[in-house]
Chains A and B, each alone.
Chain A
Amino acid sequence: MSHGGRATLFDASRCIACRSCQVACKQWNGLGAESPTPENRGGYEHPHDLSATQWLLIHFREGERADGSLFWHFCRSSCRHCVDAPCRQKARDKRAVVVDEETGAVLFTEHSRDEDFAAILRACPYHIPRRGPGGALFKCTMCVDRLHRGEQPACDKACPTGANVHGPRDEILALARERLSALRLRYPNAAALDLHETRLILLLADRESRYKTGVER
């Protein structure tokens, strides 16, 4: 299946952190605001974490390089739809985590309610699943409902700059390689993360440690 199905490229070199994707995700999936009284805790990154109703988050990380130049990098955190999903391997009941055949989307079902959440979260290399109030687990669905109707995912549709690009996996891998080689001319540290393991490929323009990816390694 690794060459079939769908994939999304997140090209951090084009992301302006407008967070249209973050809002479009909530809008399409009917997810409410995280709190009736939201608070600024001293930064731009809001809401503060993924949740059962927050499936996509844009992270911000700023800093100063040795030469005094500043950077402010934006990165997307959401399910990567792993090709061979560790969360699925961990699930005791295989009905809890299923893979959509056509797209390769990894989906949690209501059977996830009976899973060991802590174990599944530990299994996920990207710290993605969250448990809802009823016990079931939630995360990005790749908008399979939209894909099955021939529409693009909400995040891709809302992105004004071409930072989120969704398509057949072969094409997305080719695009990722093409953009990576172009980026390297300007940014020698550019890298494409987990190209072969996931269906959400992060293309970074700088060292991974200068991004907040949601997973510190």
Chain B
Amino acid sequence: MTNHWIDLKNADVVLIMGANPAENHPVSFRWVSEARARGANVIHVDPRFTRTSAQADLFAPLRCGSDIAFLGGMLHYILEGEHIHQDYVLHYTNASHLVADGFAFDPAEGLFSGYDPETNRYDSDAWAMALDEDGVIRKDPTLQHPRCVYQEVRRHFARYDITTVAGATGTPPEILQAVYEAFVQGSVGPGRAGTILYAMGWTQHTVGAQNIRAMSMIQMLLGNMGLAGGGINALRGESNVQGSTDHGLLFHVLPGYLKTPQVDQQTIADYNERWTPTTVEPRSANWWRNTPKYMTSYLKSMFGDAATPENDFAYDWLPKLDSEESYAWQTIFDEMYEGRLQGLFAWGQNPANSSAHASRVRDALGRLDWLVTVNPFSTETAEFWRGPGVDPSAVATEVFALPAAVAFEKEGSVTNSGRWAQWRYEAVPPPGDACADLDIMNALFESVRALYVAEGGAAAEPILHLKWDYFDGRAPAAERIAKEINGYFTGDVRVAGVDYREGDLVPDFTALQDDGTTSSGNWLYCGSFPAPDPITGNRMRRRTREASGIGLNSEWAWAWPLNRRILYNRAGVDLRGQPFDPARPVIQWDGTAWVGDTPDGGQPPLVDRDGHPNDAACLPFIMHPDGVAGLFGKDYLRDGPLPEHYEPVESPLADNPMGHRQRANPVAHVSPAESGNPVAAPGDPAFPVICTTYRVGEHWQSGAMTRPKAWLNELHPDLFVELDPMLAAHHDIVSGDRVRVQSARGALKAIAIVTRRLKPLTVMGATVHQVGLPIHYGWLAPGAPAVRLAAVNLLTPNVGDPNTRIPEFKAFLVAIAKVEEDGS
């Protein structure tokens, strides 16, 4: 989230799309309800009328996977109606920047320039900006130049008129119009702000990242970023998934979103050269220019005294990615399926249920030598070798199941969607043999290191020299690690007039150095634990409630970066530093300093009191090298500098409704069919129905933690499929019947819920039906007949977004049939 949960109450219009927060983030509705009580409009756009729609003022149905068409229509409405926030767009986005001649979009082919059909990749250099002789981006502040970003964006979305959009989405035109009007009306004008809540309904598509990009463009054009009640708000699906992402969960980034080194970056100098952006744009802070400081400090936290200037701070000891190679989840299981992986730790994960095309994943698990699962309960992954249709004697994988503590049984921090790191204590000790994850990790690491000490081995140095002094019992390990993440001075240093001694905690990341005199396990969290006292030094423990009036709660816990509660807040003020919304100021320039939230940089406003440009000022989007938000972006996404509607890999349409030849995303990741990845052909008559998957509030993730709990399980006891009355009548199905659902990958049985909350839609002149099933089930439910409790991912396709590699769980094709009494 650029904003945070409580801030939702400040919105004047709440667009919920690609999310179902009433069911999946119920506490958020406390704040949505507050916004409504103040008069905010709540709009829900979803294939299905859910418990969120039940609370919305306006509901718009759409076809699964048509979000870019829907949002493209909103961009069209905003641009053609000139509903933009003029000052914001001109000064805080790259609307005025000129695009170089290499960029083009071919509306007949449906491709951007730079596409290589041999490799199915784009060369993003084709999307560069036009530079003057000093290397500065050329600009046209009148926004009239045909190659300025504003005009490029207008031209691109000119094709997304209401009729075309309605044909693609199936949303009735009058509802499209109503949504566009309501969102724009709630966003534009003094004192207004519109927010967007999204979740996996946007990400889990082969155009997932572009879905979010389209909405980001809307928020920039309407000037909704940096304001209370505005922003782009991703509702994260697990209590600490934000924290784990911040700390390097994904393969392409280290903690703090530092890029993972690649093989062609053999020295730290190579690395810094490759990943430290430079700019000649005037007044751009270009914050990532600090990359070398953060990387060196990270290496110091990893290897301590063994990281020296002489050995490149042990940069050699970090693993390097083979350039262009992906280590994404899909790749891991593709490799496993091909027999190229020996072992797997499934730690707090249940891939036998939660992965796309789960039957192939279960096959892949059977090709491992060993598998370790770490979980509070047994899972379908731990027991895959005796799952339905599996002969245990035919599985050679050795499985170790380690019992783990649940959240209340361990100490540590949890970072919520709003970037608040909140410290939790151990309420009760874990039962039996269960351990906190940290203790399991320590026991493993100690044993592994002992083996290396005794026997040596390939690349032993990183293991032998890892700084690992958190478990000596002098303080709780979680606290010691939190301090390491914050970072220490590793030498005596004078920073900004203050003397620090070796061993002092670093006050915040502006003090980090690139010469090895500081450490920090994650620069973004530097400042979370700036003093040694375990209570007062740990700012994540703070529990002082609201003082700002707009719910910032700046003294409650701690938020990255620098306790900033609303990101890009310097875009929420005018050129003089006065808030666009004076009633709900986030920050404000008082003539000498900013007051309110931690500003995105302490420099003065762009113009002074007399309206003269301020040379000491800096542009508000400090993480971008050019200082402004990118409506058009060369370096962001692999599948184009602008969003374009493409069909899901599996969809009933043989043609792209935008009228071009490119049906699906040309660079989408599609795992090879010959490696057990069947995909239905476009419009395949064998699979005429669109299917989507989702969650219910009563269960959690793959269900491993909620199905064993009888109170929760009885609320939603069985896998169900929701379908519309017309489709149901066609198949002679009534609620409560058992239905067989089949995709190109597998089949399962589910209980029918026939409901008007799903409606047949008219798409490109034809009627399409959509069905949906929740993800939480598997055969390990107490007392349940195994045959009914199938995992919905037996159906889903192993295809994914080219940027994130998240699978397309949200739109694929199935066939349905009633199961007759004899079970056939």
Question: Does A62 contact B756, Cβ atoms closer than 8 Å?
Answer: yes
Determine whether B735 belongs to the interface, using a CB cutoff of 8 Å to chain A.
Answer: yes
Nearest chain-B residue to A22 (Cβ)? B715
Give chain A's interface residue range (CB within 8 Å of chain B).
35 or more
Question: Does A72 contact B715, Cβ atoms closer than 8 Å?
Answer: no
Q: Which residues of B contact A74 (CB under 8 A)?
A: 51, 54
Question: Does B715 contact A63, Cβ atoms closer than 8 Å?
Answer: no
Question: Does B33 contact A162, Cβ atoms closer than 8 Å?
Answer: yes
Chain B min CB distance to A146 (Å): 18
Question: Does B736 contact A42, Cβ atoms closer than 8 Å?
Answer: yes
Determine whether B183 belongs to the interface, using a CB cutoff of 8 Å to chain A.
Answer: no
Q: A18-B23, A72-B757 are in contact. Are A39 and B717 (CB under 8 A)?
A: yes
For chain A residues 39-78, which have a beta carbon within 8 Å of chain B?
39-44, 46-47, 62-64, 69-74
Of listed A23, A44, A74, residue having the most chain B CB within 10 A: A44
Cα-based distance from A39 to B736 in the complex (angstroms): 10
For chain A residues 163-211, which have a beta carbon within 8 Å of chain B?
182, 186
Q: A16-B29, A16-B54, A72-B51 are in contact. Are A40 and B718 (CB under 8 A)?
A: yes
Cα-based distance from A125 to B814 in the complex (angstroms): 47
Chain B min CB distance to A105 (Å): 24
Nearest chain-B residue to A27 (Cβ)? B711
Question: Does A16 contact B756, Cβ atoms closer than 8 Å?
Answer: no
Question: Does B53 contact A70, Cβ atoms closer than 8 Å?
Answer: yes
Cα-based distance from A29 to B370 in the complex (angstroms): 45
Question: Does A16 contact B23, Cβ atoms closer than 8 Å?
Answer: yes
Determine whether B59 belongs to the interface, using a CB cutoff of 8 Å to chain A.
Answer: yes
Q: Which residues of B contact A33 (CB under 8 A)?
A: 710-711, 713-714
Question: Does A23 contact B30, Cβ atoms closer than 8 Å?
Answer: no
Chain A min CB distance to B460 (Å): 51
As a 0/1 sequence over residues 1 to 33 of chain A, the CB contacts with chain B under 8 angstroms (1 = contact) are: 000000000000010111110110011000011
Question: Does A160 contact B751, Cβ atoms closer than 8 Å?
Answer: no
Cβ 8 A contact of B753, one of A17, A42, A64, A70: A42
Q: Which residues of A contact B736 (CB under 8 A)?
A: 40-42
Q: Which residues of B contact A36 (CB under 8 A)?
A: 710, 782-783
Nearest chain-B residue to A163 (Cβ)? B33
Question: Does B714 contact A46, Cβ atoms closer than 8 Å?
Answer: yes
Determine whether B784 belongs to the interface, using a CB cutoff of 8 Å to chain A.
Answer: yes
Determine whether B712 belongs to the interface, using a CB cutoff of 8 Å to chain A.
Answer: yes
Q: Which residues of B contact A150 (CB under 8 A)?
A: none
Q: Which residues of B contact A89 (CB under 8 A)?
A: none
Cα-based distance from A44 to B51 in the complex (angstroms): 11
As a 0/1 sequence over residues 329 to 369 of chain B, the CB contacts with chain A under 8 angstroms (1 = contact) are: 00000000000000000000000000000000000000000
Question: Does A42 contact B711, Cβ atoms closer than 8 Å?
Answer: no
Q: A46-B717, A72-B51 are in contact. Are A23 and B783 (CB under 8 A)?
A: no
Determine whether A133 belongs to the interface, using a CB cutoff of 8 Å to chain B.
Answer: no
Q: A46-B715, A47-B714 are in contact. Are A18 and B697 (CB under 8 A)?
A: yes
Question: Does B713 contact A42, Cβ atoms closer than 8 Å?
Answer: no
Cβ 8 A contact of A46, one of B27, B59, B716: B716
Determine whether A115 belongs to the interface, using a CB cutoff of 8 Å to chain B.
Answer: no
Cβ 8 A contact of B757, one of A62, A73, A182, A186: A62
Determine whether B755 belongs to the interface, using a CB cutoff of 8 Å to chain A.
Answer: yes
Q: Which residues of A contact B29 (CB under 8 A)?
A: 14, 16, 160-161
Cα-based distance from A182 to B30 in the complex (angstroms): 17
Cα-based distance from A33 to B712 in the complex (angstroms): 9
Cα-based distance from A42 to B710 in the complex (angstroms): 19
Cβ 8 A contact of A40, one of B37, B716, B756: B716
Q: Which residues of B contact A161 (CB under 8 A)?
A: 26, 29-30, 33
Determine whether B737 belongs to the interface, using a CB cutoff of 8 Å to chain A.
Answer: yes
Q: A32-B710, A160-B30 are in contact. Are A40 and B54 (CB under 8 A)?
A: no
Nearest chain-A residue to B59 (Cβ)? A70
Chain B min CB distance to A123 (Å): 30
Question: Does A42 contact B751, Cβ atoms closer than 8 Å?
Answer: yes
Nearest chain-B residue to A64 (Cβ)? B756
For chain B residues 374-394, which have a beta carbon within 8 Å of chain A?
none
Q: Which residues of A contact B711 (CB under 8 A)?
A: 23, 26-27, 33
Q: Which residues of A contact B488 (CB under 8 A)?
A: none
Determine whether A134 belongs to the interface, using a CB cutoff of 8 Å to chain B.
Answer: no
Question: Does B718 contact A16, Cβ atoms closer than 8 Å?
Answer: no
Chain B min CB distance to A80 (Å): 23
Question: Does A160 contact B26, Cβ atoms closer than 8 Å?
Answer: yes
Cα-based distance from A74 to B22 in the complex (angstroms): 13
Chain A min CB distance to B817 (Å): 17
Determine whether B684 belongs to the interface, using a CB cutoff of 8 Å to chain A.
Answer: no
Question: Does A160 contact B27, Cβ atoms closer than 8 Å?
Answer: yes
Question: Does A20 contact B735, Cβ atoms closer than 8 Å?
Answer: no
Question: Does A40 contact B51, Cβ atoms closer than 8 Å?
Answer: no
Cα-based distance from A182 to B715 in the complex (angstroms): 32
Determine whether B698 belongs to the interface, using a CB cutoff of 8 Å to chain A.
Answer: yes
Cβ 8 A contact of A34, one of B27, B33, B59, B714: B714
Question: Does A38 contact B713, Cβ atoms closer than 8 Å?
Answer: yes
Q: Which residues of A contact B27 (CB under 8 A)?
A: 160
Determine whether B55 belongs to the interface, using a CB cutoff of 8 Å to chain A.
Answer: yes
Q: Which residues of B contact A43 (CB under 8 A)?
A: 735, 753
Cα-based distance from A16 to B52 in the complex (angstroms): 7
Chain B min CB distance to A156 (Å): 14
Chain B min CB distance to A170 (Å): 22
Cα-based distance from A62 to B22 in the complex (angstroms): 16
For chain B residues 744-793, which have a beta carbon within 8 Å of chain A?
751-757, 782-785
Q: A23-B715, A160-B29 are in contact. Are A37 and B53 (CB under 8 A)?
A: no
Question: Does A18 contact B33, Cβ atoms closer than 8 Å?
Answer: no
Question: Does A38 contact B735, Cβ atoms closer than 8 Å?
Answer: no
Chain B min CB distance to A162 (Å): 6
Cα-based distance from A78 to B822 in the complex (angstroms): 40
Q: Which residues of A contact B57 (CB under 8 A)?
A: 186
Chain B min CB distance to A55 (Å): 13
Question: Does B26 contact A40, Cβ atoms closer than 8 Å?
Answer: no
Question: Does B714 contact A42, Cβ atoms closer than 8 Å?
Answer: no
Determine whether B294 belongs to the interface, using a CB cutoff of 8 Å to chain A.
Answer: no
Question: Does A162 contact B30, Cβ atoms closer than 8 Å?
Answer: yes
Determine whether B306 belongs to the interface, using a CB cutoff of 8 Å to chain A.
Answer: no
Q: Which residues of B contact A27 (CB under 8 A)?
A: 711
Question: Does B718 contact A39, Cβ atoms closer than 8 Å?
Answer: yes
Q: Which residues of B contact A26 (CB under 8 A)?
A: 711
Chain B min CB distance to A147 (Å): 23
Nearest chain-A residue to B718 (Cβ)? A40
Nearest chain-B residue to A40 (Cβ)? B718
Determine whether B49 belongs to the interface, using a CB cutoff of 8 Å to chain A.
Answer: yes
Question: Does B30 contact A38, Cβ atoms closer than 8 Å?
Answer: no
Q: Which residues of B contact A64 (CB under 8 A)?
A: 756
Cα-based distance from A117 to B27 in the complex (angstroms): 40
Q: Which residues of B contact A38 (CB under 8 A)?
A: 713-714, 717-718, 783
Cα-based distance from A69 to B44 in the complex (angstroms): 13
Determine whether B529 belongs to the interface, using a CB cutoff of 8 Å to chain A.
Answer: no
Q: Which residues of B contact A160 (CB under 8 A)?
A: 26-27, 29-30
Question: Does A42 contact B737, Cβ atoms closer than 8 Å?
Answer: yes
Question: Does B22 contact A40, Cβ atoms closer than 8 Å?
Answer: no
Q: Which residues of A contact B33 (CB under 8 A)?
A: 14, 161-162
Cβ 8 A contact of A18, one of B22, B714, B756: B22
For chain B residues 8-39, which have a beta carbon within 8 Å of chain A?
22-23, 26-27, 29-30, 33, 37
Cβ 8 A contact of A63, one of B23, B26, B714, B756: B756
* Interchain Cβ contacts under 8 Å between A and B, 21 examples: A16-B23, A16-B52, A18-B23, A18-B26, A19-B697, A19-B715, A22-B715, A23-B712, A33-B711, A38-B718, A40-B736, A40-B753, A42-B720, A42-B737, A42-B751, A43-B753, A70-B53, A70-B757, A72-B757, A74-B54, A160-B30
- Pairs A-B, 7 closest by C-beta atoms: A42-B735, A42-B736, A33-B710, A38-B717, A40-B718, A16-B22, A72-B54
- Residue positions of A touching B, CB distance < 8 A: 14, 16-20, 22-23, 26-27, 32-44, 46-47, 62-64, 69-74, 160-162, 182, 186
A43-B753, A70-B757 provided; 17 other pairs, C-beta below 8 A?
A16-B26, A16-B55, A17-B22, A18-B23, A23-B715, A32-B710, A33-B711, A33-B713, A36-B782, A38-B783, A40-B716, A43-B735, A46-B717, A62-B757, A70-B756, A71-B54, A74-B54
